[in-house]
């Protein structure tokens, strides 16, 4: 059968005009080259990619000096080590310079991800903790406003990173569950105005006495993300224990907890984003006896941000937003009294212009008003450009 077919094809070729055959042959060779090029591209070996993001701000508060700030420059390095292991690193330089305690150079993440199967991944290393929306995804072209919301500073101490390990599991098409054991916080840094923020160990020789747990349950569908996160542990580090015994204060533990709920919904040109966070610090009275920082027993904050994209041209877009924030780092006190100056609202409106989806040029203005007696609203205006690459 095969032989018949071959001789039939051969005779067919002989009948075909020579010119046409040459033409077909040429086309075939061209095609072959194209196939080779393409297969090389598709089968390129484990690769390294470099990316990152940067943001330049021009901050003009009403009462304070106006300034430029090259707020963040971040390099992201990804390496596919083999078919199931990859390395992710994020190195950040804040304020363009590190000098005399100003500016920061820090690892934002440096970890390995092991893809166990389509559903399950394991991670280990210095991890970006999955607490809220912005802690994980903070490229400047992805959010409105020159600066990140204040909730992501005073309530969710963004960027929250720690050494640790854990698992990420996809459930069905839209659900994801993550859980990690990580280095905890150092209660020596807790304060009335900043709650947990200065207690972050930033993966700098972290005290391993205080292991924390963190996790997130997320629903993620096109145009709709809902998430719940927690972060809790004991912040009684060796340093805190020593300070307690020196001060003659009995302190068993400094349990802390941070619980957040967030949503990001897009419907047509309208987007609604919100993060709500609530935290607790146990034995704050004893802690305040040692450090005198007037730490609150609980703290909270939220923002609600409706936005609307009203102009498009090709890849370009312009959108406008309003953001209403409330930050309260001393929601309740176990000892001492709260300072109204730490409790504030920050209401803001602004515009983002995306000349390309990876670049945002931003303007916003707003006013912060504390709950202190006779406090006046502090107005400010900000310009910024942020991009990721």
Partner 1 sequence: MGFLFCWGTNAQAVVYLSTEEALRLAFPAGEQRMTVPLSQLTDAQLAGLKEKTGMPFSSRITHCYQGLKQGKIKGYACIDNMIGKSEYITYLLYIRHPQGEVEFVELMTYRESEGGEIKNPAFLRQFQGKNSEDPVRLERDIRKISGATYSSRALATGARKLIHLYRIFLKDLPPLHQAAP
User: Would you tell me how many other CB atoms lie within 10 Å of the CB of residue 245?
Assistant: 12
* Site membership for partner 1, residue 16 (CB under 8 A): no
Q: Which two tokens stand for residue 174?
A: 């839209």
Residues 293-312 that bind partner 1 (CB under 8 A): 309, 312
Q: Does residue 15 sit in helix, strand or coil?
A: helix
Residues that contact partner 1, how many (by CB under 8 A)? 43
Q: Kind and range of the H or E element at 33?
A: helix 18-42
Tell me how far, at minimum, the Cβ of 28 lies from partner 1, in Å: 11
CA distance 156 to 150: 9
Tell me how far, at minimum, the Cβ of 386 lies from partner 1, in Å: 15
Closest CA to 190 of 94, 105, 283, 92: 283
* Site membership for partner 1, residue 84 (CB under 8 A): yes
Cβ-proximal residues to 296 (8 Å cutoff; 6+ apart), any chain:
192, 195, 281, 284, 329, 330, 331, 332, 333, 338
Tell me how far, at minimum, the Cβ of 223 lies from partner 1, in Å: 3
How far are the Cα atoms of 144, 211, 237 from residue 208, in angstroms, in the given order? 37, 6, 8
Q: Does residue 22 sit in helix, strand or coil?
A: helix
Tell me how far, at minimum, the Cβ of 219 lies from partner 1, in Å: 10
* Site membership for partner 1, residue 266 (CB under 8 A): yes
Residues 23-82 that bind partner 1 (CB under 8 A): 31, 34-35, 37-39, 41-47, 49, 51, 78, 80, 82
Q: Give the per-residue contact string, 86-125, with partner 1 (x = CB under 8 A; - = no).
A: x--------------------------x-x--x-------
* Site membership for partner 1, residue 317 (CB under 8 A): yes
- Cβ pair 352, 387 in contact under 8 A: no
Tell me how far, at minimum, the Cβ of 266 lies from partner 1, in Å: 5
- Cβ pair 74, 89 in contact under 8 A: no
Q: Which two tokens stand for residue 254?
A: 């400094």
* Site membership for partner 1, residue 225 (CB under 8 A): yes
Which one of 3, 18, 65, 83 is in contact with partner 1 (CB under 8 A)? 83
List interacting residues with partner 1 (CB under 8 A).
31, 34-35, 37-39, 41-47, 49, 51, 78, 80, 82-84, 86, 113, 115, 118, 137, 142, 173-174, 220-225, 264, 266, 269, 309, 312, 314-315, 317, 357
């Amino acid at each position: 059968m095969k032989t018949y077919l071959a001789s039939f094809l051969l005779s067919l070729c002989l009948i075909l005009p020579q010119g046409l055959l040459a033409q077909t042959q040429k086309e075939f060779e061209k095609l072959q080259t194209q196939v080779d090029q393409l297969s090389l591209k598709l089968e390129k070996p484990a690769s390294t990619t470099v990316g990152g993001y940067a943001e330049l701000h021009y901050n003009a508060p009403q009462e304070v000096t106006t300034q430029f700030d090259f707020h963040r420059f971040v390099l992201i390095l990804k390496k596919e080590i083999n078919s199931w292991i990859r390395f992710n690193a994020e190195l950040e330089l804040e304020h363009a310079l590190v000098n005399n305690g100003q500016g920061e150079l820090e690892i934002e993440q440096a970890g390995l991800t092991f893809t166990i199967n389509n559903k399950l991944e394991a991670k280990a290393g210095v991890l970006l903790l999955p607490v809220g929306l912005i802690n994980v995804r903070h490229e400047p072209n992805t959010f409105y406003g020159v600066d990140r919301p204040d909730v992501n500073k005073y309530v969710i101490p963004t960027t929250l990173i720690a050494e640790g390990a854990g698992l990420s599991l996809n459930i069905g098409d839209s659900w994801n569950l993550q859980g990690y054991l990580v280095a905890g916080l150092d209660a020596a840094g807790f304060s009335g105005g900043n709650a947990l923020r200065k207690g972050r160990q930033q993966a700098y020789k972290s005290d391993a006495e205080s292991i924390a747990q963190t996790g997130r349950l997320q629903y993620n569908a096109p145009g709709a993300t809902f998430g719940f996160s927690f972060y809790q542990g004991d912040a009684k580090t060796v340093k805190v224990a020593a300070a307690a015994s020196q001060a003659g204060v009995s302190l068993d533990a400094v349990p802390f907890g941070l619980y957040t709920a967030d949503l990001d919904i897009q419907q047509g040109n309208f987007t609604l984003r919100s993060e709500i966070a609530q935290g607790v610090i146990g034995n704050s009275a004893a802690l305040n006896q040692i450090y005198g920082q007037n730490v609150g027993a609980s703290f909270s904050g939220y923002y609600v941000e409706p936005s609307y994209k009203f102009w498009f041209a090709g890849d370009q877009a312009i959108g406008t937003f309003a953001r209403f924030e409330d930050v309260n780092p001393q929601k309740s006190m176990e000892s001492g009294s709260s300072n109204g100056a730490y409790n504030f609202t920050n209401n803001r409106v602004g515009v983002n212009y995306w000349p390309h989806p990876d670049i945002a040029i931003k303007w916003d203005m707003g006013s912060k008003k504390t709950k202190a007696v006779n406090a006046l609203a502090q107005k400010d205006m900000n310009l910024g450009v942020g991009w990721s690459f």
